[in-house]
Amino acid sequence: MPSNSVATVGDNCIDRYLPLRQSTVGGNAVNVAVHLSRLGLHAAYFGAVGDDADGLRVLAALRDNGVDAGQVHVRKGLTAYTDIDVGKDGERIIGFEEFGVCAGYRPDGDELAVLRGMRHVHIGWLDDGGAVKQALAAAGTDVSQDLSVTSPVAGRRAEGLAIAFASAGPSLAEGEALAARLLAEGARVAVVTCGSAGSVASDGRSLARMNARPIAVVDTLGAGDTFIAGFLAARLDGQELEACLRSGRDLAAPTCGHLGGFPQAPGMLT
């Protein structure tokens, strides 16, 4: 892989919009990888899919969006899925989650060696007790993680993270308090999205705030993942915190205008 490659590790799923009888490919790690690739970075995804039609669908979506899927495990069993109801203003309501072969997925030793050489690694949902984060941080690899989706087994703590992402209620004050806690836990940069109130980021020396962009909402699913990709791309480009927040915001806003975490043709539920 090119020396400036980035990678995401963890979850993938089929998001099933029950009232609409439609479905999309998603998952935090997949959505972030797709958007990083669409922004022109060489992005690889590390995770596991089932040996079923949904697994083939996830792999096709990754490859169609230029994501390197060569490290994906195809395992006998079920590809993860999430059942979703849709509330007012397009807000998602998660009814049921089946993690399928994602549960228990771990990168093996050879894959960890590849990840250690990445310019940046982002971790989504991963029920490994924080082992991958700790191994990569100990090797000096820049790691980010969405602590709002990560498995509770991992403790949802920010130690070892170059960038800790999280979400808070619609209050910048609440976001700033959460960012301060993440920095105290050991994150070098803390980024908190606050819904309609906007977002905040801090490295302990400076604090940046960004308002949200008004947009007609179809579906909010994946908007936070898109924000992460926009922030990471700008940060890897050397931009300051405020510019990184703006990049995340501006990339995420259009995601609210369609189903799923990235542009795709929805499938029909039978």
* DSSP states along 133-150: HHHHHHTT--EEEETTTS
**DSSP-assigned letter for residue 257:** T
On whether residue 141 sits in a domain, the answer given is: yes
Distance CA 74, CA 55 (A): 8
Instruction: Work out the number of other CB atoms within 10 angstroms of the CB of residue 35.
Output: 28
* Residue pair 82/16 in contact by the 8 Å Cβ criterion: yes
Domain count, the chain: 1
On whether residue 138 sits in a domain, the answer given is: yes
On whether residue 240 sits in a domain, the answer given is: yes
In the three-class reduction of DSSP (H, G, I as helix; E, B as strand; rest coil), residue 241 is classed as helix
Bridge partners of residue 49, in order along the sequence: 74
Instruction: Retrieve residue 147's tokens.
Output: 């602590």
On whether residue 269 sits in a domain, the answer given is: no
In the three-class reduction of DSSP (H, G, I as helix; E, B as strand; rest coil), residue 173 is classed as helix
Extended beta strands in the chain, E state: 6-9, 13-17, 22-26, 43-46, 48-50, 73-75, 81-86, 92-98, 120-123, 143-146, 163-167, 189-193, 199-202, 207-210, 267-268
Distance CA 225, CA 222 (A): 5
pLDDT confidence of residue 3: 63
**What is the reported pTM?**
0.96
Backbone φ and ψ for 179, nearest 5 degrees, come out as -60, -40
Instruction: Retrieve residue 229's tokens.
Output: 């990709």
Domain of residue 99, residue span: 6-262
Q: Is 236 left (phi over 0), alpha (psi -120 to 50) or beta?
A: alpha
* Residue pair 229/251 in contact by the 8 Å Cβ criterion: yes
pLDDT confidence of residue 153: 52
Q: Which residue has the tokens 């994501």?
A: 67
On whether residue 201 sits in a domain, the answer given is: yes
On whether residue 122 sits in a domain, the answer given is: yes
On whether residue 268 sits in a domain, the answer given is: no
Instruction: Retrieve residue 13's tokens.
Output: 């799923």
The per-residue pLDDT string of the chain (270 residues; one tens digit each, 9 = 90 and over) reads 776 799 999 999 999 999 999 999 999 999 999 999 999 999 999 999 999 999 999 999 999 999 999 999 999 999 999 999 876 665 678 889 999 999 989 999 999 999 999 999 999 999 898 999 999 999 999 999 999 987 665 557 899 999 999 999 999 999 999 999 999 999 999 999 999 999 999 999 999 999 999 888 888 889 999 999 999 999 999 999 999 999 999 999 999 999 999 999 999 997
* Residue pair 199/191 in contact by the 8 Å Cβ criterion: yes
Domain with 194 in it: what CATH number? 3.40.1190.20
Instruction: Retrieve residue 209's tokens.
Output: 């705030």
On whether residue 204 sits in a domain, the answer given is: yes
pLDDT confidence of residue 90: 56
